[in-house]
């Protein structure tokens, strides 16, 4: 039986098309500062780029062994741009930027469709746009942002279906969910959450159960058919089933599973609390704060956070950010994929001071406590609404989005995760919270609250822009040095340890066996090494100086030559 619509949300001005374009223009203008141009790979996108190059050259889709996700949707998207403009990392990066903009636009449309408050939508959109993970990954050919866009678009049409029970919206949402699933397996969280919430809203009749179930089965079926084709044609990447094996191993070792899951819960909670702090602060004035609905859960989560801090500090030796590997590093935004920093854990590049990370950690902890308190408040409100059958379409959509984020994050708990895995959860949680918070009256904000929200968004933007600018700058210099070494000095790639991206791009080999005293990334000989600092047994062959923004300091990249015996 369908729930009757309830006007639990106060009608307020929602975001306009003009607002959306202003947000997008501000975001695009910031790209001028970082200058994301350069025909070189970043992070793991060399492996995805090689797959695209092979596909457009031969018409044969054969993913590189380094991939651990379906990826075919991303490959087709990147290939479309390369067929028009030719293959290059700049073209592939531009293809991701287009999807990133589409992701921001679809995020705003999703919130607008729910008639959410204009100011909170703008804050949430800026929070996503300048989130450090989303921002830097938008300027690569990594899969995280394209997947997030596909997921957000699918969620948009599923939300429309929840409101209107439209077969057309269900079909479009399903097709987009299939595209997302063929990018990353965890996209199945979207149709699964939709099915659960749809049945809660419209009842457990046969027709109401079979329609969303078809959506789930279509996504799962597409994934299984694709994986069967990969296996049958011997195209499955070497690492494709690594996560599955890791999960099985953890499930068979419950003690280890518990410890890893607890650590990941703390880390994910901390990161999301920090990244979603502007959203949490913006909705706080709309909540009618009482001892029961706010003070008690806030106190409980404070105690829980303190216990996590002590336990993680004692067990792992640290509790302060950064705790998850890959994008956010002590020097700002990375990863710093050269031997001295990534392999030897040396500190050859100026890092942000420990006090900065300590302060950021406690801000993140406060954000995590606030986020958990608001989420609990939302969950209790939604549960009462479903139980009494007094719930609005907006709140139903909020339940769907929050459940999607939870189901997406659950499989990441048992194993090793990177911080970039959190990107898809950010838009789901942001709109989910905005849609689920009960509003009985117009929110009243004071100057301090507005200032805190604005300051937190600006701080995120400054960190993201400065860190991404430095990341591109040192990589641009790294590749300038490598080109000089290869073209002008006539040094073969097999003699160089140029970092993960260089050796992966030119020397990747599925059967490579890492050699002692060498980096694990397919190094044949290390007669020449690129490094941020001097290394024992090497002399400086050439030095490149540059100036960093985060922190402001002089830096250098060295081309080192192995000393002759």
- DSSP assignment of 115-137: T--HHHHHHHHHHHHT-HHHHHH
Cis previous bond, 187, omega within 30: no
Mind listing the pLDDT tens digit for each residue in 33-73?
A: 999 999 999 999 999 999 999 999 999 999 998 988 999 99
pLDDT tier, 445 (very low <50, low <70, confident <90, very high otherwise): low
Contact status, residue 485 vs residue 528, Cβ threshold 8 Å: yes
* In contact, 430 and 276? CB cutoff 8 Å: yes
| Peptide bond before residue 378 is cis, with ω within 30 degrees of 0 | no
- Expressed in angstroms, the distance from the first to the final Cα of the chain is 83
Tens-digit pLDDT profile for residues 104-115: 999 999 999 998
| Contact assessment for residue 153 and residue 147, using Cβ atoms and an 8 Å cutoff | no
Q: Which two tokens stand for residue 226?
A: 């694709």
Q: Which residue has the tokens 């589409």?
A: 102
What pLDDT is stored for residue 235 in this prediction? Answer: 93
What is the Cα–Cα distance from 192 to 83, expressed in whole angstroms?
Answer: 35
DSSP code per residue over 84-116? HH-S-HHHHHHHHHHHHHHHHHHHHHHHHHTT-
| Mean pLDDT computed over 76-101 | 97
Q: Are 263 and 110 in contact (CB under 8 A)?
A: no
Please give the backbone phi and psi of residue 562, each rounded to the nearest 5 degrees, phi first: -65, 135
Report the C-alpha gap between 150 and 170 in whole angstroms. Answer: 15
Name the H helices within 233-284: 242-251, 254-275, 277-283
Which residue has tokens 């746009």? 129
* Range of weakest confidence among 140-149, 364-373, 376-385: 376-385
Tell me if the bond preceding 170 is cis, omega within 30° of 0. Answer: no
Q: What is the mean pLDDT of residues 184-195?
A: 96
Taking residue 225's Cβ as centre, other Cβ atoms within 10 Å add up to 11
pLDDT over 50 at 9, yes or no: no
Which range among 137-141, 158-162, 252-256 shows the weakest confidence by mean pLDDT? 252-256
The structure's pTM equals: 0.94
Percent of the chain with pLDDT over 90: 82
pLDDT at 229: 96
Percent of the chain with pLDDT over 70: 96
Residue by residue, what is the 3-state secondary structure of 383-426? HHHHHHCCCCHHHHHHHHHHHHHHHHHHHHCCCCCEHHHHCCHH
> What are the tens digits of pLDDT across the range 514-546?
888 899 999 999 999 999 999 999 999 999 999
Closest C-alpha to 298, from 375, 399, 398: 375
CA distance 393 to 116: 12
The reported pLDDT for the residue numbered 7 is 40
Q: Give CA–CA dist 78/183, Å, rounded.
A: 12
The answer to whether 444 and 285 have CB atoms below 8 angstroms apart is yes
Higher pLDDT, 446 or 449: 449
- At 565 the pLDDT is 55
Burial of residue 228 (number of CB atoms within 10 Å: 0-12, 13-18, 19+): exposed
Q: Give percent helix, percent strand, percent coil of the chain, each to the nearest 5.
A: 65, 5, 30
Q: Please, is 24 exposed, middle or buried when counting C-beta atoms within 10 Å of its C-beta (0-12, 13-18, 19+)?
A: middle
Q: What is the pLDDT of residue 184?
A: 95
Q: Express each pLDDT in 458-484 by its tens digit.
A: 999 999 999 999 999 999 999 999 999
Distance between CA atoms of 485 and 507, rounded to whole angstroms? 16
- CA-based nearest residue to 187, from 436, 415, 430, 405: 405
**Cα(123)–Cα(283) distance, integer angstroms:** 10
Dihedral Cα 39, 42, 44, 49, nearest 10 deg: -20
| Interacting residues of 360 by C-beta distance below 8 A, sequence separation 6+ | 274, 321
Average pLDDT, the chain: 92
Q: Which of 500, 491, 505 is nearest to 542 (CA)?
A: 491
Q: Which long-range contacts (CB under 8 A, 24 or more apart) does 284-288 make?
A: 284/370, 284/374, 284/449, 285/443, 285/444, 285/445, 285/446, 285/449, 286/117, 286/437, 286/439, 286/443, 287/374, 287/377, 287/437, 287/438, 288/438, 288/440
């Amino acid at each position: 039986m369908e729930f009757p619509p309830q006007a639990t949300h106060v009608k307020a001005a929602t975001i306009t098309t003009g607002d959306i374009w202003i947000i997008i223009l501000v975001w695009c203008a910031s790209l001028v500062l970082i200058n994301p141009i350069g025909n070189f790979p970043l992070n793991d996108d060399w492996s995805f780029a090689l797959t695209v190059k092979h596909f457009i050259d031969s018409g044969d889709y054969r993913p590189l062994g380094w991939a651990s996700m379906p990826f075919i949707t991303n490959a087709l998207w990147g290939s479309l741009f390369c067929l028009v403009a030719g293959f290059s990392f700049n073209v592939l990066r531009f293809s991701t930027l287009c999807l990133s903009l589409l992701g921001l636009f679809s995020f705003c449309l999703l919130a607008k469709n729910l008639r959410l408050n204009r100011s909170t939508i703008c804050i949430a959109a800026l929070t996503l746009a300048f989130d450090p993970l989303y921002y830097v990954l938008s300027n690569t050919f990594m899969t995280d942002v394209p997947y997030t866009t596909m997921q957000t678009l699918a969620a948009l049409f599923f939300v429309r279906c929840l409101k209107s029970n439209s077969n057309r919206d269900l079909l479009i949402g399903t097709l987009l969910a299939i595209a997302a699933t063929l990018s990353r397996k965890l996209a199945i969280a979207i149709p699964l959450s939709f099915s659960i919430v749809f049945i809660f809203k419209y009842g457990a009749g046969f027709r109401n159960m079979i329609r969303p179930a078809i959506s789930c089965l279509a996504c799962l079926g597409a994934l299984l058919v694709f994986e069967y084709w990969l296996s049958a044609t011997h195209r499955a990447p070497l690492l494709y089933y690594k996560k599955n094996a890791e999960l099985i191993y953890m499930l068979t070792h419950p003690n280890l599973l518990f410890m890893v899951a607890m650590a990941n819960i703390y880390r994910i909670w901390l990161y999301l609390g920090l990244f979603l702090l502007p959203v949490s602060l913006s909705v706080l004035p709309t909540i009618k704060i009482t001892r029961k609905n706010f003070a008690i859960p806030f106190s409980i989560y404070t105690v829980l956070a303190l216990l996590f801090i002590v336990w993680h500090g004692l067990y792992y030796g640290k509790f302060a950010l950064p705790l998850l590997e890959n994008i956010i590093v002590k020097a700002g935004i990375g990863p710093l994929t050269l031997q001295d920093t990534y392999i030897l854990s040396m500190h050859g590049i100026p890092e942000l001071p420990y006090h900065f990370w300590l302060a950021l950690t406690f801000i993140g902890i406060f954000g995590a406590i606030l986020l958990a308190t608001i989420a609990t408040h939302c969950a209790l409100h939604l549960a009462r609404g479903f139980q009494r059958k007094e719930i609005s379409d907006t709140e139903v959509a909020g339940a769907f989005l929050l459940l999607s984020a939870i189901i997406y994050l659950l499989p990441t708990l048992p194993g090793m995760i990177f911080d970039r895995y959190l990107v898809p959860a950010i838009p789901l949680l942001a709109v989910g919270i905005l849609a689920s918070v009960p509003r009985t009256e117009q929110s009243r904000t004071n100057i301090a609250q507005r200032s805190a929200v604005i300051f937190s968004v600006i701080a995120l933007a400054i960190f993201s822009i400065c860190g991404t600018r430095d990341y591109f700058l040192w990589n641009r210099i790294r590749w300038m040095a490598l080109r000089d070494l290869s073209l002008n000095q006539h040094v073969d790639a097999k003699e160089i340890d140029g970092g993960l991206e260089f050796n992966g791009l030119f020397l990747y080999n599925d059967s490579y066996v890492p050699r002692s005293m060498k980096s694990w990334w397919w190094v044949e000989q290390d007669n020449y090494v690129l490094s941020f600092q001097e290394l024992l047994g090497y002399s400086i062959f050439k030095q490149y100086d540059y100036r960093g923004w985060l922190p402001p300091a002089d830096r250098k990249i060295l081309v080192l030559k192995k000393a002759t015996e």
